[in-house]
């Protein structure tokens, strides 16, 4: 160990290269992967490198990015949230109902709807967390239940129909493209990511999320109550599902009980590709953003490549598993150069 530090301080060419390599592999592994995939498509696929195409990708990753950021909190504590897709559906219904309610004053309906979306999402998430902790149940089961409950609630509230006729200013904001390349909804997603990153990186709360995922019992025996933090993590995942519902309304301008089917799996895939460990304690929200980008870039690139919709899932599924396999090799590699 000390020899290693000695070497790197000595600054021989080999040692410096070793350090650069370690940094690339550890900190930027997934990002390098994304850059390689983008470069590959830029060179090989027609139209991929156009501004128009990137704009489309930015629009398409917004929802998954928002969902994945909340999902990161839950997975970091060692849990999983399968309910975000149908909670999103429920929230779009709640938001659309409020926006289209003619009894509300014009200026108030949109802010109220946004609050309604986020509040509903956070409430669903908090219920998930509370049930898990109260009866010590696996989150897989509890959120699977919530997946169905929220989906049913969305159908009941909407009378199983699509709600249209959202206020024009709201629709206009959703179509806005800042500076010609940055869609408004992408900026919302970036905002969510930045907030999430800040919380995990710089706050006491974030510190506890990592600590609980690493060793919950040690945190408890250090005089804390992991339960509250875990419930909060689920509430955050619900909150981001509500936020993703707002993004959905901005993008598609409808509230729908069948929105978001399968979104939870895309969000989980993004988090896992981003290097967050399913057993908790290790990962980052920036990784989840990159994971979401990789999924979308692959999907778009394959389409431009002429790979049919039927083949695409085969490639994407393979990439998800490959990413995790590479992750284990990354750990092994890091350990080998650290002990060398």
Partner 1 sequence: MNDVILKLKAVGKRFPGVIALRDVSLEVRRGEAHVLLGENGAGKSTLINLLAGIYVPDEGEIVFDGEPYQPRTPLDAYGVGIRVVHQELSMLSQLTVAENLLFESLPRRHGLVNFWEMNRRAAELLQEVGLDVAPNIPVSRLGVAQMQLVEIAKALCYDSKLLILDEPTATLTSKEVERLFEILKKLKSKGVTILYISHRLQEIYDIGDAVTVLRDGQVVETRPLAGLAIADIVRMMVGRSIRDEDAFRDDVAVEGELLRVEGLKRNARTPAVSFAVRRGEIVGVAGLVGSGRTETMRALFGADPKIAGSVFVEGARVEIRSPRDAVQHGLSLLTEDRKGQGLLLTLPCAENITITDITKISRAGLLQPDVEREKASALVTELRIKTPSVYQLVGNFSGGNQQKVVIAKWLFRGSKILICDEPTRGIDVGAKREIYDLLWALAASGKGVIFVSSDLLELISMCHRIIVFSQGKIVGELPRPEFNQQRILSLAYEEYGLERAN
**Count, residues near partner 1 per rule CB under 8 A:** 25
Report the residue from 47, 202, 311, 329 that binds partner 1 according to the rule CB under 8 A. 202
State the minimum distance, in angstroms, from the CB of residue 225 to partner 1.
Answer: 6
The conformation of residue 255, written as its DSSP 8-state character, comes to B
State the minimum distance, in angstroms, from the CB of residue 201 to partner 1.
Answer: 9
Lookup: tokens for 257? 């009980």
Report the residue from 26, 155, 224, 330 that binds partner 1 according to the rule CB under 8 A. 224
Longest Cα–Cα distance of the chain, Å, equals 74
Residue (of 131, 154, 126, 151) closest to 142 by Cα position: 131
- Residue 123 found at the interface with partner 1 (CB under 8 A): no
The H-or-E segment that residue 178 falls in is strand 177-178
State the minimum distance, in angstroms, from the CB of residue 5 to partner 1.
Answer: 6
Phi/psi of residue 278, nearest 5 degrees: -65, -20
3-class SS at 182? strand
Distance in Å from the first CA to the final CA of the chain: 8
Residue (of 172, 141, 11, 30) closest to 79 by Cα position: 141
> What angle separates helix 204-214 from helix 51-76, to the nearest 10 degrees?
70
- Of 112-120, 128-136, 199-207, 259-267, the segment contacting partner 1 by CB under 8 A is 199-207
Torsion of CA 129, 135, 137, 139, to 10 degrees: -10
Report the residue from 54, 130, 173, 205 that binds partner 1 according to the rule CB under 8 A. 205
Residues 260-289 that bind partner 1 (CB under 8 A): 281-282
- Residue 214 found at the interface with partner 1 (CB under 8 A): yes
State the minimum distance, in angstroms, from the CB of residue 127 to partner 1.
Answer: 24
Residues 32-61 that bind partner 1 (CB under 8 A): none
- Residue 2 found at the interface with partner 1 (CB under 8 A): yes
- Of 24-32, 167-175, 202-210, 314-322, the segment contacting partner 1 by CB under 8 A is 202-210
Q: Tokens 């309906």 label which residue?
A: 109
Report the residue from 54, 210, 305, 333 that binds partner 1 according to the rule CB under 8 A. 210
- Residue 225 found at the interface with partner 1 (CB under 8 A): yes
Q: CA 196 to CA 274: how far, in whole Å?
A: 15
Report the residue from 136, 221, 309, 332 that binds partner 1 according to the rule CB under 8 A. 221
Q: CA 228 to CA 231: how far, in whole Å?
A: 5
Report the residue from 207, 313, 317, 321 that binds partner 1 according to the rule CB under 8 A. 207
State the minimum distance, in angstroms, from the CB of residue 2 to partner 1.
Answer: 7
Nearer to partner 1, 41 or 208 (CB): 208
- Residue 217 found at the interface with partner 1 (CB under 8 A): yes
Report the residue from 27, 215, 319, 333 that binds partner 1 according to the rule CB under 8 A. 215
Residues 276/75, Cβ–Cβ less than 8 Å: yes
Write the secondary structure of 111-160 as one string of H (helix), E (strand) and C (coil). Answer: HHHHHHHHHHHHHHHHHHHHHHHHCCCCHHHHHHHHHHHHHHHHHHHHCC
Nearer to partner 1, 217 or 309 (CB): 217
- Residue 26 found at the interface with partner 1 (CB under 8 A): no
Residues 243/118, Cβ–Cβ less than 8 Å: yes
Lookup: tokens for 36? 């390689």
Nearer to partner 1, 75 or 245 (CB): 75
- Of 73-81, 102-110, 166-174, 203-211, the segment contacting partner 1 by CB under 8 A is 203-211
Distance of CA 144 to the CA centre of its chain: 18
State the minimum distance, in angstroms, from the CB of residue 179 to partner 1.
Answer: 32
Contacts to partner 1 by CB under 8 A: 1-2, 5, 202-208, 210-211, 214-215, 217-225, 281-282
């Amino acid at each position: 160990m000390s020899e290693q530090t000695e070497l790197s301080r000595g600054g021989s060419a080999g040692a410096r290269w070793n350090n650069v390599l370690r940094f690339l592999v550890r900190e930027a592994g997934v990002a390098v992967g994304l850059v390689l995939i983008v470069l590959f498509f830029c060179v090989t696929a027609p139209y991929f490198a156009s501004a128009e195409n990137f704009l489309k990708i930015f629009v398409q990753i917004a929802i998954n990015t928002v969902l994945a950021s909340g999902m990161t909190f839950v997975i970091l504590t060692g849990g999983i949230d399968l309910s975000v897709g149908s909670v999103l559906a429920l929230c779009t219904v709640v938001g659309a109902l409020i926006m289209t309610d003619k009894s509300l004053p014009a200026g108030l309906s949109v802010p109220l709807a946004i609050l309604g979306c986020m509040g509903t999402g956070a409430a669903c998430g908090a219920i998930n967390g509370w049930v898990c902790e109260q009866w010590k149940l696996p989150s897989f089961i509890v959120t699977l239940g919530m997946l169905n409950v929220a989906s049913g609630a969305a159908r009941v509230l909407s009378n199983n129909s699509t709600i249209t006729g959202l206020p024009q200013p709201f629709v206009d904001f959703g179509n806005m493209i800042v500076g010609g390349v940055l869609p408004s909804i992408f900026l919302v997603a970036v905002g969510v990511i930045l907030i999430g990153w800040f919380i995990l990186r710089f706050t006491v709360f974030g510190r506890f999320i990592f600590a609980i995922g690493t060793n919950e019992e040690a945190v408890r025996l250090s005089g804390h109550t992991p339960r509250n933090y875990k419930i909060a993590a689920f509430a955050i995942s619900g909150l981001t599902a509500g936020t993703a519902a707002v993004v959905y309304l901005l993008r598609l301008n409808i509230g729908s009980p069948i929105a978001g089917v399968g979104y939870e799996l895309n969000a989980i895939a993004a988090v896992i590709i981003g290097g967050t460990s399913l057993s908790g304690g290790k990962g980052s929200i920036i990784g989840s953003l990159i994971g979401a980008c990789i999924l979308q870039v692959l999907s778009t690139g394959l389409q431009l490549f002429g790979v049919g919709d039927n083949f695409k899932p085969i490639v994407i599924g393979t990439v998800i598993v490959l990413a995790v396999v590479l992750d284990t090799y990354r750990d092994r590699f890091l350990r080998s150069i650290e002990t060398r």
